[in-house]
Structure 1
Amino acid sequence: MSLALLDAAATAARLPYPALVHAVQAVLRDPAVQVPLRLVQPLPGGASLFVMPALDGRIAITKLITFTPANAGSARPTIQGDVVVFDIATGERRLVLDGPTVTARRTAAVSLLAAQRFAPQPAGPLLIVGAGAQGRSHLEAFAQGLPLAEVRIASRSAASAESLAARARELGLRTRVVSDPDAALAECPLVVTCTPASSIVLSALPRPDAFIAAVGAFTPGMVELAPDLVRHCARHGRVVLDTPDARHEAGDLLQAGLDVAGLAALADLPRGDGNEARTGPVLFKSCGWAGWDLAAARAAIG
C-alpha cells in the first residue's frame, strides 16, 4: 500500500466542505468511534504541543501539532504539524495530511453543520471577527453551505481584513470591512469569532435571531466573548457545545461563570429534535476534537 504525503493544497483538495460535513455527521452517528482525551503539553515561551488520537473500525489517526500564539501576525502560522492516518488491519500508514489545513477546514465544517441546524437566519449577513486561516475557511464553508449574499469582516490587521474581503468578493459576496465588530452585531444575525483569543473581541449583546460560532478560544485561559454576552445567550437563547469535552476547555463559558455541566453538545441535538420553536440567540462554542480530524481523514481517504 503506497503512502500519500499531502501538502496544504493537496489536503484541501481532498476535503471539500460538503463531504466534510457529511463525514462529521457520520462520525457523530458511529458507535465504533473512539476519541481518547488529547494531550496538551505546554512548551517554553507560551506554545503548546497537541497530541490528538482517534479511531474507528477501519482507521486510526493522530494529529500532532504545535500551537504558537507568538506567531500571530507573522509569516509563520500559529498551528503547524500533521495528521497521520493508519490502516488498523495492516498497521500501515495510509496518509499524512497537512495539520493546519485539516484543522481549519474541519473546524469550519463543524461550524457550518451547527449553523445549518440552529441558525435562525442562515442567509446572514455574516460577520467574521478574525481574518486568519480560520476566518478564510469559515468564509468559504459558509459561502458554500448557506444562502449567503453579504459579509462583514473585522480584524486587528487591516491587511488581513482586506485580503479576506477580496476573497469574499471572489465568491460573489457583497463585502465590507468594519472597524467596530460590536456595532456590526446589530445588522448581522450570523457571526463567527476566530481570533487568537488573547482578549475579548465582542462585548455588545447579539440580536434575538443571532447565531454565533465562537471557535478561537479552546483552553480555559483563552477568551473572545464578554461574559455578559455569553450569559445573555444562555439566559435568553441556547448555548451548544461541539463536544462534551468543551465543558472543561471553553474559556468563554468558564470565565463567564456558566454552569457548563448541563449544556448540550452537537451530537445531543440532531435536526428535528423538537426544539425548533425555541427563540433567542444561539451560541455555538467549538473547542476542537480529534473526532473531527477522524472525519477529515475519512473524507480524504474516500
Structure 2
Amino acid sequence: MDTLLDATATARLLPPIALADEIEALLHDPAVQVPERLVQPLPGGGSLFVMPALDAHIAITKLITFTPANAGTPRPAIQGDVVVFDSATGERRLVLDGPTVTARRTAAVSLLAARRLAPRPEGPLLIVGAGAQGLSHLEAFQAGLPVREVLVASRRRESAQALVDHARSLGLKAEVVPDPDEALPRCSLVVTCTPASGAVLRARPSRGTFIAAVGSFTPRMVELDAQLCRDVAADGTVVVDTPDAAHEAGDLLQAGLDVASFPSLRDVVHGRVRARGPVLFKSCGWAGWDLAAARAAMKGIGVNSAARRAFEASGFEARR
C-alpha cells in the first residue's frame, strides 16, 4: 500500500529545519548513490527531468517537466512527482508532489548553506524573485535563521507585495524594493530565485554578505552579473551545491570561472571550507536533495506505523 500526497500534504511533511537537518545527514551517509540526471528537451522549449537516487532503504525518482513558457500563466513552470520505493521489496511507498519537493528542498539546501557560511545570518534578507522559490526561501530562512526583516524585489509588483504580505503574517518587517542593487548594501542575506533569463543582481556585495543563487541550473541561464561572480571568486568564497554544477552553473560558467575548482556543500558540512569575505552559494539542484526530502517525508508520515495511521486520520488531502 502506498500514499499519494498532494501539495499541501507534501509540504506538511517537509518543515524547513527538519529537512535541512536531513540534507546534512544525507551528506554524511556513504550508502547514498545519485546517478546523473537525464534532461530531455521537449518541443516548445521545455524539458523533462528524470532524477534517480537511493540509499540503503529507499530508492526515488523525481520525474518533472520544466516549462519556462508557463511563467505568468495559471500553469506552473514545474510539474510532476517524486516516487519513493522500498529498496528491499521494490514496493512503491509514497508519491510526493514534485513542485513542492523542489521548492522545499531547494530552500532547505540554501538554509543549510547559510547556517554554515553566512557571516551575518540575522539579515536583513533580500529576496529577488517572488514565485514559489521566493516563498519557500522566505519560510525556510524565517524558520531557521534569526531573520527579522525582509526586502522583496520582483518584476511584478503584485507578486512582490503578496510575498511581503506573507512575510508580515509571519511577524517579519517587510517591504517591496524596486531595485535589488540599491537594496543590497542593507542586506547581509540575499536569495536570487528568478527565471534566470538575465542578470538581476550587479552591485558588489560587502564582505558580510551571503548570496544564495538558485534560479539558474543550465549553462545558458543566468541571474548574477559576471563581474559580481568574478569579484566574489577573487575576494570571497564561492561554494556550489554539488560537483555537477561544473557543467550546470550558468552564472559561474558565463563569468569564465573554473567551477570545478570550487568546494561543494559536502565539503562544507565535512569541515573542509573556511569562508572569507562575501559568500556566494550557487545551487543547481541534485536528486540527492530529493532523496533527503523523501527520507524526511517517510519519517514524518511514519510508514507502516501508528504515526502513519494518525497522519491519515488527520484529514490530509490525498490525490486519488
Write the distance in 1 (CA, Å) between the matches of 2:50 and 2:32.
Answer: 17
Output one character per residue of 1:25-52: Cα deviation in whole Å (capped at 9) or x when no partner.
1110001000000000011111000000
- Match of 2:269, SS state, is coil
**Are 2:13 and 1:14 equivalent residues in the alignment?**
yes
TM-score (ref. length: structure 1): 0.97
Give the superposition deviation at 1:269. 1.8
1:282 pairs with one of 274, 279, 284: 279
Aligned to 1:296: 293
The correspondence of residues 256-267 of structure 1 with structure 2, limited to 5 A, is 256-267=255-266
What corresponds to 1:36 in structure 2? 35
CA distance in 2, matches of 1:95, 1:65: 16
Asked if the contact 1:117/1:271 (under 8 Å) is kept, the reply is no
Could you say which residue in structure 2 is the equivalent of 1:115?
114
1:120-135 aligned at under 5 Å gives the runs 120-135=119-134
- Does structure 2 retain, via aligned residues, the 8 Å contact 1:227–1:256? yes
Deviation at 1:279, TM superposition (A): 2.9
Q: How does 1:164-179 map to 2 (within 5 A)?
A: 164-179=163-178
Deviation (angstroms), 1:56: 0.5
SS of equivalent residue, structure 1 residue 221 = coil
Change (3 A) 1:272 1:245: closer
Match of 1:37, as an amino acid?
E
Give the secondary structure class of the aligned counterpart of 1:264: coil
Q: Counterpart of 1:270?
A: 269
Contact kept, 8 Å, 1:6 with 1:96, in 2: the verdict is yes
Report the CA distance shift for 1:205/1:274 in structure 2 as closer, same or farther (over 3 A): closer
Which residue matches 1:199? 198
**Amino acid in the other structure paired with 1:232:** D
* Structure 2 Cα separation of the partners of residues 292 and 20 of structure 1: 9
| Counterpart Cα distance in 1 of 2:163 and 2:287 | 28
Tell me the secondary structure at the aligned position of residue 222 of structure 2: coil
User: Aligned-pair distance for 1:207?
Assistant: 1.3
Residues 68-93 of structure 1, C-alpha deviation per residue, up to 9 Å, x if partnerless? 00111111110000000000111110
Equivalent residues in 2 for 1:182-221, closer than 5 Å? 182-221=181-220
> Contact 1:106–1:292 at 8 Å: present in 2 too?
yes
Structure 1 moving runs of 4+ over 6 Å? none
Counterpart position of 1:157: 156
Query: For this pair of structures, how many residues does the alignment match?
Result: 299
Q: Is the 8 A contact 1:194 1:216 kept in 2?
A: yes
**Alpha-carbon distance, 1:272 to partner:** 4.9
Moved more, 249-258 or 18-27: 18-27
Amino acid across the alignment from 1:242: D
Deviation at 1:274, TM superposition (A): 6.8
For the 8 Å contact 1:149–1:173, the answer to whether it is kept is yes
Is the partner of 1:95 in helix, strand or coil? strand
Q: Distance in 2 between matches of 1:279 and 1:29?
A: 24
Matched, 1:59 2:19: no
Instruction: Give 1:189's aligned amino acid.
Output: S
Q: Matched residues in 2 for 1:264 and 1:279: separation?
A: 13
Structure 2 distance, partners of 1:202, 1:279, is 21
Q: CA separation in 1, counterparts of 2:162 and 2:292?
A: 29
| Aligned-partner residue type, residue 168 of structure 1 | A
Q: Report the identity percentage.
A: 71
Aligned alpha-carbon RMSD (Å):
0.9
State whether residues 253 and 259 of structure 2, in contact with CA within 8 Å, keep that contact through their aligned partners in structure 1.
Answer: yes
